[in-house]
Amino acid sequence: MEINMNQLTKIVIDTRGGDKGASAMVAGAAAALDKYPELGIVLVGDQQEIDTLCASLSMPSERLEILHAAEEITNHDSPAEALFQKQDSSMLKALQALSERKELFGLITTGNTGVLLAGAMRYLSGKNRVRPALAAVLPAQSGGFTCLVDTGATVDCTPPVLHHFARLGSDFMRDMYGLVSPKIGLLSNGAESSKGNKLVKETHVILAQDDSLCFVGNIEGNEALSGKCDVLVCDGFAGNQVLKVTEGTATRIITDIMKYAYKTGSGEIKTLASHLMSIYDIGSLGGGIILGVEKPVIKARGNAGPDAVVNTAGMLLNMSRNQAVFDAAQNHI
């Protein structure tokens, strides 16, 4: 297969490890190639399975490459064991290719988060072997975006770790969204600087002293996605709650609206429910992004379907126009 991908932004897609199997990932890849003419894709997984799936879709072969991997990382694999025993897995082969091949820009995977973070640290942390963060970029009420960091990579944090997250998030939002001075908020249980647990109070002092950051103070949970800050810093446990409670509440209300629509038979309300679903379906928004590594790695949800692949591929294309971010992120610590 001869491929000329020099003019393309080439990304790697791990086809294994997701709930919906390789078929969803390959279908997503096909849709992304169709939507973005400047995109090239390397599919990593079982060659035979991918060949079969591709045969049933019309894929532009000049923008497609397949990399065979005999093994699959499952959700039962522990990071330490997987790194040593499953080097021929699609996730680790994808990370290795991303690390070794200069022309590859980023990676999308739906697989095991723990193994992914460990693998990203092994293959993509460069000289600085720091723990990466898993961020989520969510639509803010004000119309922009809020980068929530961390959403679950590091659940027990120290103040210097949260400080590191603030800098990673600040760099990311500056370079990715062109914000001159991203506003950094600290998730707390009260707006006053005296509010917070021990971790938050100590972090507040450190963030307030860092002149390189535009620290706007504590942000409460009800304003997490208000747009008062561009980066919301928190430990991975609290960030996971913000992400999942937002999703759970939105899903619940939209379900209520659907029931109400069926009860009343209102077409208008059904239309509204579909509209809200398209806004608040966090699962399809693009997934988490690993900050603090040399190239962008996107962790889509385990149950991600083709739409999520298209959306995350779109995110990577956006980032490729602002590649500086990941270099900049490396200049810290």
Residues that bind a copy of itself (CB under 8 A): 141, 152, 155-156, 187, 189, 196-198, 200, 220-226, 235-238, 240-257, 260, 264, 266, 268-269, 272, 275-276, 279-280
Q: Which is nearer to a copy of itself, 57 or 269 (CB)?
A: 269
Residue 225: CB partners within 8 Å, gap ≥ 6?
138, 139, 140, 141, 146, 246
Looking at the Cβ atoms of 236 and 306, the one nearer to a copy of itself is 236
* Residue bearing tokens 């060949």: 51
Can you read off the two tokens belonging to residue 80?
A: 């330490």
Q: Specify the residue, 85 or 255, whose C-beta has the smaller distance to a copy of itself.
A: 255
As measured in angstroms, the least distance from the Cβ of 326 to a copy of itself is: 26
- As measured in angstroms, the least distance from the Cβ of 250 to a copy of itself is 6
Of 243 and 304, which has the nearer Cβ to a copy of itself? 243
Q: For residue 248, which amino acid is it? A: G
Say if residues 101 and 95 touch (Cβ distance below 8 Å): no
Q: Please identify, using beta-carbon distances, which residue of 77 and 294 lies nearer to a copy of itself.
A: 77
Least separation in angstroms between residue 266's CB and a copy of itself is 5
Task: Answer yes or no: are the C-beta atoms of 38 and 317 closer than 8 Å.
Answer: yes
Residue 316: φ, ψ to 5°: -65, -40
Give the contacts of 230 (CB within 8 A, at least 6 positions apart): 144, 145, 146, 147, 169, 173, 177, 179, 182, 183, 184
The rounded distance, in Å, linking the Cα atoms of 246 and 78 is 29
The nearer residue to a copy of itself, 169 or 236, going by C-beta atoms, is: 236
Q: In angstroms, what is the minimal distance from the CB of 56 to a copy of itself?
A: 34
For the CB of residue 183, give the shortest distance to a copy of itself in the complex, in Å.
18
Quick one: CA dihedral 171, 80, 161, 242, positive or negative? positive
Q: Shortest Cβ distance from residue 275 to a copy of itself (Å)?
A: 7
Phi/psi for 56 (5° steps) reads -85, -5
Supply the minimum distance, in Å, between the C-beta of residue 276 and a copy of itself: 7
Cβ closest to a copy of itself, residue 21 vs residue 221: 221
Burial environment of residue 133 by CB neighbours within 10 A (0 to 12, 13 to 18, 19 or more): buried
- Dihedrals phi, psi of 74, to nearest 5 degrees: -110, 175
Please report which helix (H) or strand (E) contains residue 251, including its range. helix 236-264
**Which residue, among 289, 293, 329, has the nearest Cα to 99 in the 3D structure?**
293
